[in-house]
Structure 1
Amino acid sequence: MVGTMVPKVIVLSLAGLASLCVNALEVTNIKDCPTLSRRVGGAANVTDLRPDDIKVVAAMGDSITAGAFMLGVDNEEEGFDIRTYSESRGESYSIGGNRDAITLAKFIQNYSPTAQGASIGSRFPTTPCVDENCSILQYEYRPLNDRLNAAISGSMAMNLDRQLDYLITRMKTMIGVNFNQHWKLLTIQIGSNDQCASCNGVLDLSPDAYGKHISTALERIKSSIPRVIVNLLGVFKVSQVYTITEDGPAYCRPQNNDPNTILNRQMCSCFQGADSNRTHMDTIADGYNAKLQEIYEDFKSKQSDTFAVSYMPSDINILGFPIEALSNFDCFHPSLINHQWIAKTSWQNLFVSQPDRQGIWEFDANKKIYCPTEFDRIRIS
């Protein structure tokens, strides 16, 4: 479908962001964005990166980044459909590389067609490997399709180091990747499973512990992956998923109209029991985001010409979602239209200063795609 270009002076706001005083375009198809004039020599350093400078895209995270269950269930069909139980990695908001997918990776490839790393297709989920003797390739990853999508469903912040084991190895050996010379954009979003498990008291899932795992991962990235900008996303309040499905909408396929049979109750253990569990989740989420802001400030002092962390708060208003923004398989994971909206919103925010990224993300199924200008850079501060 041919996109409609809308020229205007764009206000890059989620909630009260400052106006960016340049003529810009928003389109329905990234292919309708104007091309960027080629720069001789490319980016001078990490603060000078445009989308066409990025030659490698990568991602780390949990089942959201893995694209789990986003296609949902076709209620008109009977019988088993493997797509229902699949991770649609090729459509994942940050790293999906399917043809015509609406993702950060595809937006990058529009300006840098040879950029490597975007995951394709779909596959059955695997879970984090905790056995020290297990093979990262045999038990967790499908390198030909996963490519540089290191996300594993069920992961928590403590699993990031394991994901880096795969990511660094794959990045070094992947055809088309010049590990030492290519600029890389690595998106990290994790913390939903940490919130969901924080009520049982078995693991230390405090903000301090969460922050330690994030910092350790960033330090390893800094020392092990050259020429990289880390796109670090904040966490959202998972408890709101419980709230919008509390009445058991038919879309979520409760058994005998009992909302306790919706799959999200089993997928998030804190959804079970007293309301105080969900209050506790919100407190934990606030703590995680405060810790991420603190980590971002710390890594600003560790920035170099070839490494930086860009922090993107992601205060998503789940309470404002239409129910279709959730997969009807479990009413827990984002649906395809939700992944596409997150891709468009986070893409737009890449070019906004970090202070102006504050604010609420309000769902908009008709959101257009921002076209970066010659003057835009991927913002670090």
Structure 2
Amino acid sequence: MLVSNRLVLLALFCHYASAELVGGLGEVKDSQRAPSPVYAPDISQCPKLQPRKERPTSIHDLRPDDIKAIAAIGDSVIAGVAAKNDETECLTGESFKQYRGVSYSIGGIRSFVYIRVMSDESMDKFNAALLAGGSISFKDQIEYLVPKIGKDSPLARAWKVLTISLGQNDLVVSCHPTFTIADYTARMIEGLRLLQDKVDYVLINLAELAKQFGPQGPNATFGVIYQSADVNVKSVDYRMISNLDGYHPNLEGHKFFAKVLWDQMFLTKSEKLDNLQYDPKFPVRCPSEDDRFATQ
């Protein structure tokens, strides 16, 4: 879905710890430390960024208002299945609807409390997620997106963010001889190479099970960044889980994961959180004009 320069990407996400210089650089004085990040309860309360004078040429120089399109690849969670709780007495198959406009990875509904996407495009247009999607459907989802954001599309040279979340359904059938860890890894690497061949000017968030790839060189225009999605089960609150099946995240769950993803995008590899704790009051980081998405 197309977004304006006011979009603070993917819809929000937050929290960040200031990086400190280490390793033979001597003592860091207070005047040399990066300013503490600013937080807010909602992205709408963050100050606007002043437009940049020049378009960035490297993935290492990206900030939120450089992003012109957001896309997603994944499974039923990314498709927003069961995201809205159902209070009816009896459930049927029709109760399990898709609410792609509130998916944490892409958003789309303007009125949703934490989504700020300024677009008249269909909110399903760049969400390629398939129900029961797994690594075996990775290439199919890529082929769906290529005409929309690929090298021959109108967005060929526009900076994009693509979030990929695949693997949970692979785990469910991991006892099958064609769904081993090796099979999963091979299919994910094959898909990422296909993306590298077909899509340029893209920062890819790779959530869940795989830690692969990365930007290559100072002027790279393609990069894959691992973003942790490991939430401590003991911290999970029933209020963030759909009451339809007790598995899929509901609106509160998507809100939390969206803010966590936003947070992770500003954290370097050594700063990323591997064991996330659910917090319904998790704040939103307000990016400054000096902030950049972390690629190292």
Pairwise TM-score range, normalised by the shorter structure: 0.7 to 0.9
Give SS of 2:259's match: helix
Whether 2:79 is the aligned partner of 1:66: answer: yes
Q: 2:30 matched to which residue of 1?
A: none
Q: 1:241 matched to which residue of 2?
A: none
Q: Deviations over 1:266-295 (max 9, x none)?
A: xxxxxxxxxxxxxxxxxxxxxxxxxx22x2
Give the aligned residue type for 2:112: A
Give the aligned residue type for 2:182: D
Give 1:47 deviation, angstroms. 0.7
C-alpha distance in structure 1 between counterparts of 2:62 and 2:179, whole Å? 35
Match of 1:359 among 266, 269, 274: 274
Give 1:172 deviation, angstroms. 5.8
Q: 1:184 matched to which residue of 2?
A: 160
In structure 2, relative to structure 1, the CA distance for the partners of 1:330 and 1:303 (3 Å cut) is: farther
Whether 2:265 is the aligned partner of 1:350: answer: yes
Match of 2:199 among 212, 225, 234: 225
Give the aligned residue type for 2:163: T
Query: Following superposition of structure 1 onto structure 2, how do residues 24-103 of structure 1 map, counting pairs within 5 Å?
Result: 24-74=37-87, 77-78=88-89, 84-101=95-112
In structure 2, relative to structure 1, the CA distance for the partners of 1:330 and 1:11 (3 Å cut) is: closer
In structure 2, relative to structure 1, the CA distance for the partners of 1:53 and 1:300 (3 Å cut) is: closer
Match of 1:148 among 95, 107, 126: 126
C-alpha distance in structure 2 between counterparts of 1:89 and 1:71, whole Å? 11
Give SS of 2:37's match: strand
Whether 2:180 is the aligned partner of 1:206: answer: yes
In the alignment, is the contact (CA less than 8 A) between 1:68 and 1:85 conserved in 2?
A: yes
Give the greater-gyration-radius structure (CA).
1
Give the aligned residue type for 1:169: P
Give 1:330 deviation, angstroms. 0.6
Give 1:346 deviation, angstroms. 0.9
Q: How many residues align?
A: 271
Query: Following superposition of structure 1 onto structure 2, how do residues 244-255 of structure 1 map, counting pairs within 5 Å?
Result: none
In the alignment, is the contact (CA less than 8 A) between 1:187 and 1:233 conserved in 2?
A: yes
C-alpha distance in structure 2 between counterparts of 1:172 and 1:59, whole Å? 14
Q: 1:331 matched to which residue of 2?
A: 246
In the alignment, is the contact (CA less than 8 A) between 1:11 and 1:18 conserved in 2?
A: no
C-alpha distance in structure 1 between counterparts of 2:104 and 2:272, whole Å? 18
Whether 2:32 is the aligned partner of 1:12: answer: no
Give 1:372 deviation, angstroms. 0.7
Give SS of 2:105's match: coil
Cα RMSD for the two superposed structures: 2.7
The percent identity for this pair of structures is 28
Higher helix share: 1
Structure 1 unaligned runs (5+)?
1-9, 118-143, 236-291
In the alignment, is the contact (CA less than 8 A) between 1:93 and 1:340 conserved in 2?
A: yes
Give 1:322 deviation, angstroms. 1.4
In structure 2, relative to structure 1, the CA distance for the partners of 1:102 and 1:58 (3 Å cut) is: farther
Give the aligned residue type for 2:203: I
Give 1:79 deviation, angstroms. 5.9
Give SS of 1:66's match: coil
C-alpha distance in structure 2 between counterparts of 1:150 and 1:171, whole Å? 12
Deviates more, 1:58-67 or 1:42-51: 42-51
Give 1:65 deviation, angstroms. 0.5
Per chain length, whose mean CA-contact separation is higher, i.e. which structure has more relative contact order (CA < 8 Å, sep 6+)? Answer: 2
In the alignment, is the contact (CA less than 8 A) between 2:108 and 2:123 conserved in 1?
A: no
C-alpha distance in structure 1 between counterparts of 2:133 and 2:260, whole Å? 24
Q: Deviations over 1:301-355 (max 9, x none)?
A: 5885211111112221122111222111011111210110000111011111122
Q: 1:167 matched to which residue of 2?
A: 145
